[in-house]
Structure 1
Amino acid sequence: MGLLRGRSAPEAGEAIESAVRRARKPLTAARAKRMIGVSKAVAPLLAPYALAAAAVARTRWDAYRAARLGVEPGQLGAYAGRGGALHARLSRMAEALDRLDSGAEAHGTGAARRFAVDTRPRLADLAVAVRAAEQMPTPRRRTAYRAIGAELDRLEIALLHHLGVQG
């Protein structure tokens, strides 16, 4: 505000207009050369910080996406694409069935093992359906993904029942 100190209102208005005009100078060849020169001097100083910030942002974004899918960040590439979330769900379901079938779970009863054996072919069919739906036009793909998701929901509820979790 030192620009306006000690001036009357009309003089202050003129000073502000003058400052705005100076700030909005048209881009001339001389100004462009000056800006390029400044950027050549400043860019090498700022580039490492910009790259480090970009790397941190990418790492956080990948961790966020991996957490949403329920996988490790290192496995994120395996679940990329339109059907990635469904592939991740299928994979996690298959892992749970393996643990249920091996008897490692406390609720590994005969019925639970039969459920695991009967469900594995269904998971394979759903994985094929997800891959096939990836090539479909958008409206059909969305419909197929909803149907696959509903089937996975049903299987997950049955799995939770066999694990003794009441929902």
Structure 2
Amino acid sequence: MRKGEHGRVTPGNAKKVVGVTRIVGPVVAPYLARAAATAREGYERFRARRLGVAVEDVSRFTGRGAALHARIAGDATALENLLASRSGNEGEESVRSFVESSRQRLDELSGVVRAAERMPAARRRAAHRAVDGELGRIEDDLLRRFGVRA
């Protein structure tokens, strides 16, 4: 058997690797750093697309309920837009009451999603399904009030 066969690390082999690393390392390091930054940026864009939010807002939505939190935030913004578009119009009081009750419900749903993070998987999935259904009802009502659905 020859010296260094079968993956043995010998002092001579280790010195060679350290020597090569000293020479090649400073040349390769900037490229590796740039590649890592590009990969991270691509991953953040992917997550933003998947969540339906801007890249700058991705860090606000983490955990297993990130998609639900993003939907809740989007629905809260839509409620503000509805209130702004209907102010001064007839039926403003009904819109205002809908917005207020929906805001409260969204706050409750956000709490449920946060609490579900610490639940066992089966209970968490059940809680997320329930929140998903409730968000669907709120979104349907929102679309109807915007005049998109009948």
TM range (shorter): 0.7 to 0.9
Report the equivalent of 2:74. Answer: 92
- Whole-angstrom CA distance in 2 between matches of 1:29 and 1:57: 36
- Whole-angstrom CA distance in 1 between matches of 2:90 and 2:52: 24
Is 1:46 the counterpart of 2:25? The answer is: no
Instruction: Flag structure 2 segments of 5+ consecutive residues without an equivalent.
Output: none
Counterpart of 2:63 in structure 1: which amino acid?
G
- Whole-angstrom CA distance in 2 between matches of 1:86 and 1:125: 13
**8 A Cα contact 2:86 2:95, kept in partner:** no
Counterpart of 1:130 in structure 2: which amino acid?
V
The number of residues matched between the two structures is 144
**8 A Cα contact 2:83 2:96, kept in partner:** yes
TM-score, length basis structure 1: 0.75
- Whole-angstrom CA distance in 2 between matches of 1:25 and 1:144: 57
Give the CA deviation at 1:108. Answer: 8.4
- Whole-angstrom CA distance in 2 between matches of 1:124 and 1:29: 63
Q: 1:148 aligns with which of 101, 121, 131?
A: 131
Q: How does 1:64-79 map to 2 (within 5 A)?
A: 64-79=46-61
SS in 1 for 2:71: helix
Report the equivalent of 1:157. Answer: 140
- Whole-angstrom CA distance in 2 between matches of 1:141 and 1:133: 5
- Whole-angstrom CA distance in 2 between matches of 1:138 and 1:57: 30
> Which aligned segments of 4 or more residues in structure 1 are displaced greater than 6 angstroms?
none
Bigger RCO (CA 8 Å, 6+ sep): 2
| Percent of aligned positions that are identical | 42
**8 A Cα contact 1:101 1:117, kept in partner:** no
**8 A Cα contact 1:100 1:113, kept in partner:** no
Q: 2:41 aligns with which of 59, 62, 69?
A: 59
Q: 1:120 aligns with which of 92, 97, 103?
A: 103
- Whole-angstrom CA distance in 1 between matches of 2:35 and 2:86: 44
Instruction: Flag structure 1 segments of 5+ consecutive residues without an equivalent.
Output: 1-23
Output the aligned Cα RMSD.
2.5
TM-score, length basis structure 2: 0.83
Counterpart of 1:62 in structure 2: which amino acid?
E
Counterpart of 1:63 in structure 2: which amino acid?
R
Q: Which has the larger radius of gyration?
A: 1
Which whole-Å deviations, capped at 9, do the CAs of 1:105-151 have from their partners, x for residues lacking one? 9x985344432232111111111111111121121111101110111
Is 1:130 the counterpart of 2:102? The answer is: no
- Whole-angstrom CA distance in 2 between matches of 1:128 and 1:30: 60
